[in-house]
Amino acid sequence: AQKITQTQPGMFVQEKEAVTLDCTYDTSDPSYGLFWYKQPSSGEMIFLIYQGSYDQQNATEGRYSLNFQKARKSANLVISASQLGDSAMYFCAMRGLIQGAQKLVFGQGTRLTINP
Amino acid sequence: GAGVSQSPSNKVTEKGKDVELRCDPISGHTALYWYRQSLGQGLEFLIYFQGNSAPDKSGLPSDRFSAERTGGSVSTLTIQRTQQEDSAVYLCASSLFQGREQYFGPGTRLTVT
């Protein structure tokens, strides 16, 4: 079984500051992928970044980076130079990478509010 | 290109009625997923289709829920004899076979009165 834990229900950050959203996971799968999605008030889930369990380097996508610490089973999302448009719900998710294990397991989410 | 589309965007139904929710995946995506997002349960997996393989129905909460995918493209999620606890946003996603990212549609907000 897989489990994702996001311990921050809400976060408030000043515009242009960096923010770290926490995510810890638990799985018995030897190979797995970790994902972050953004859900603005419009409701659509937007893929942000992916980290494979065997990737040697932390993933980066523009202002997003994933701080992957395998031994600690954490996959925190770092957003640099936050913008007002970053205000949204953020979900950490994972899935196994073995054949057939395609479903995503999500955490409860963190609501990020960027203040001007 | 066009993303995942879902219809209707909102659906209000009376308890006990049947509802059908539709999903049009991204063209060329062979994998299709249904998830449910509710206040109490968060985001839950419901069902997964891959090509002509038997679907993974392990997330369906009861036998009132069913889904089909015709011609490897459009999918319909059917909820029979709706209950108030079925009220949620139903999200559809698609991906390439063994694809990394799943691309989500805008969802259908279902309200059972």
Q: Is the pLDDT of residue B1 over 80?
A: no
Contacts of B39 (CB under 8 A, 6+ apart): none
Size of interface A-B (CB pairs under 8 A): 48
Of B100, B103, B109, the CB nearest to A50: B100
| B56–A47 C-beta distance less than 8 A | no
Q: Is the pLDDT of residue A99 over 90?
A: no
Q: Tokens 């799985």 label which residue?
A: A27
Using one digit for the tens of pLDDT, what is the confidence trace for B57-66?
A: 999 999 999 9
| CA atoms within 13 A of residue B77's CA, in its CB half-sphere | 33
pLDDT at A100: 59
A67 vs chain B: nearest CA distance in angstroms? 19
Q: Which two tokens stand for residue A79?
A: 């957003």
Using one digit for the tens of pLDDT, what is the confidence trace for B3-49?
A: 999 999 999 999 999 999 999 999 999 999 999 999 877 899 999 99
Using one digit for the tens of pLDDT, what is the confidence trace for A42-78?
A: 888 999 999 999 998 999 999 999 999 999 999 999 9
Of A43, A46, A50, the CB nearest to B89: A43
Across A92-101, average pLDDT: 81
